Amino acid sequence: MPIQGPRQAPGAQQRPGPQRPGSGGGGANPASSLDYATGQRFLSPDGGRAGTAASQGGLLQVGSVGPAVTTLQTQLTRLGYRPGPVDGELGPKTKAAVTRLQQAKGLPADGIVGPETRGVLEAALATAPTPAGPPQATAGNPGGGQAPAPAQRPRIKPPQVSPGASGPAVVLLQKELKERGFDPGGVDGDFGPATAAAVRAFQRAQGLDVDGVVGGSTWEALGYQLGGDSREVNLPANGQRPRPGGGGRDGPPPPVPGRDDPDLRERILAHARGELGKKEAGWNGGDAKKYQEYFGRGREPWCADFVSWVYTQAGKPMDNPYVPSIVNQLKKAGRWRTSSPRPGDMVIFDWNHDGVADHIGIVAEVLPNGRVRTIEGNTGDPAGRGPEGVYERSRTKGTIMGYGDATG
């Protein structure tokens, strides 16, 4: 009996090439799904309203093209999941965006849009702010005319809001999260477990450090301009400042700013050393695929994927494949330094001294001769005998752009 491959969503085509089966979250009879070609919702046979046989159970995955993918990319962009250009082609960036959505909503993160993934996408869209459409004619404005400009977020000097906090800043945070489809569990001014989970999901979707603490970079991602007057808006009811990493946080709490975390540094180095000798095969394949695929991405330069994987395994979640973006995030978070590296820190290189970061690794040891011993992925074999892989290297200061504090 011939094996039937996965069906396509209406309006989607499939590029030639090997297909990978998957469910995009599973569930053969979803309670509700979306026809991506028409934008119409339909229910499964046991839900009441009929849809076409072609639309029920159709999958979107890498290689799919057409209007269905264009609609998916538009919706992911609206929710802040950054699928790349809206071009109707489901490539690695769109797959990564789908994977981030699935991770945020607790689904199997395979990057395939099936019935269950469509369901959570619809639910998120239902609570997201409605984008402004073309101006409509009204009695007071018969021709429609110029649409009003969207309300601007105020310029603020943002407080750092962390689990355990309460007050007006938490109310503001919860409202912003809820508008974007990240359920904080109610707008009650109490930074509890549900709000912490929503913050982590939002940070993951935005490519920020996933630490559950709302500082400058997270407020900026929520649309606020940094600066302005400082206000004490993060104090709990008892008037005491919340303890960073308080209740409701999964895993170890983040270090208090300014205090080091030697245990985290040791975990980072242990995981990095455990990968020594992993080698690339062909174009960013072989052992290297492990680091890319962990984050739902396809083959790409993988030095940042390697560092992201190591940090995540060590309990410091990180997911960013682009080194210049990592530098910007470090600077915003106050974790960027140009001197005084410590083992476990990120080390960023600028090979041609043009001010643009080119490569990233992890500091293994600061040597007395001014050099730094590193562990790097996507780097050449220092012995010159094999392909690129994960190796220890000895680097001079002249190639180093700066360092990212592992625990700040």
Domain match, 114 and 161 both: no
Of 75-89, 114-128, 222-236, 321-335, least confident by mean pLDDT is 222-236
Given a contact cutoff of 8 angstroms between Cβ atoms, the answer to whether 69 and 97 are in contact is no
Residue 164: CATH number of its domain: 1.10.101.10
The Cα 124–Cα 83 span in angstroms is: 16
Domain match, 205 and 89 both: no
Per-residue pLDDT, 382:
87
Number of structural domains (the chain) is: 3
pTM: 0.41
Residue 5 domain flag: no
Domain match, 384 and 329 both: yes
Q: Is the pLDDT of residue 6 over 60?
A: no
Mean local confidence (pLDDT), 85-89: 78
Residue 183 domain flag: yes
Residue 135 domain flag: no
Domain match, 44 and 107 both: yes
- Burial code (b: 16+ CB inside 10 Å, e: under 16) for 156-186 equals bebbbbbbbbbbebbbbbbebbbebbbbbbe
Domain match, 281 and 190 both: no
Domain match, 168 and 214 both: yes
Per-residue pLDDT, 126:
79
Residue 371: CATH number of its domain: 3.90.1720.10
Of 209-218, 257-266, 346-355, 396-405, least confident by mean pLDDT is 257-266
Domain match, 269 and 379 both: yes
Domain boundary among 212, 230, 248: 230
Residue 246 domain flag: no
Look up the domain containing 101 and give its range.
13-126
Residue (of 159, 118, 129) closest to 171 by Cα position: 159
- H-run or E-run covering 346: strand 346-349
The Cα 332–Cα 320 span in angstroms is: 15
Domain match, 163 and 224 both: yes
Domain boundary among 185, 214, 230: 230
Instruction: Give 6 or 186, the one with higher predicted confidence.
Output: 186
Per-residue pLDDT, 129:
55
Given a contact cutoff of 8 angstroms between Cβ atoms, the answer to whether 357 and 323 are in contact is yes
Domain match, 370 and 321 both: yes
> Whose structure tokens read 């300014």?
258
- For the chain, the straight-line distance linking the first and the last C-alpha, in angstroms and rounded, comes to 59
Residue (of 372, 373, 377, 381) closest to 360 by Cα position: 377
Residue 395 domain flag: yes
The Cα 361–Cα 304 span in angstroms is: 8
Torsion angle (degrees, nearest 10) of CA 335, 336, 342, 346: 90
The Cα 234–Cα 156 span in angstroms is: 13
Given a contact cutoff of 8 angstroms between Cβ atoms, the answer to whether 42 and 48 are in contact is no
Domain boundary among 180, 208, 230: 230
Residue 72 domain flag: yes
The Cα 56–Cα 61 span in angstroms is: 15
Pairing of strands 359-366, 155-157: unpaired
Per-residue pLDDT, 145:
38
Residue 133 domain flag: no
Instruction: Give 253 or 63, the one with higher predicted confidence.
Output: 63
pLDDT tens-digit readout, 282-336: 888 899 999 989 988 888 889 999 999 999 999 999 999 899 999 999 999 889 9
- Burial code (b: 16+ CB inside 10 Å, e: under 16) for 235-272 equals bbeeeeebebbbebbeeebbbeeeeebeebbebbbebb
Per-residue pLDDT, 279:
93
Residue 272 domain flag: yes
pLDDT tens-digit readout, 123-172: 888 776 544 333 333 333 333 333 333 344 555 555 678 888 777 778 88
Domain match, 289 and 383 both: yes
Q: Is the pLDDT of residue 105 over 50?
A: yes
Across all residues in the chain, what is the average pLDDT?
73
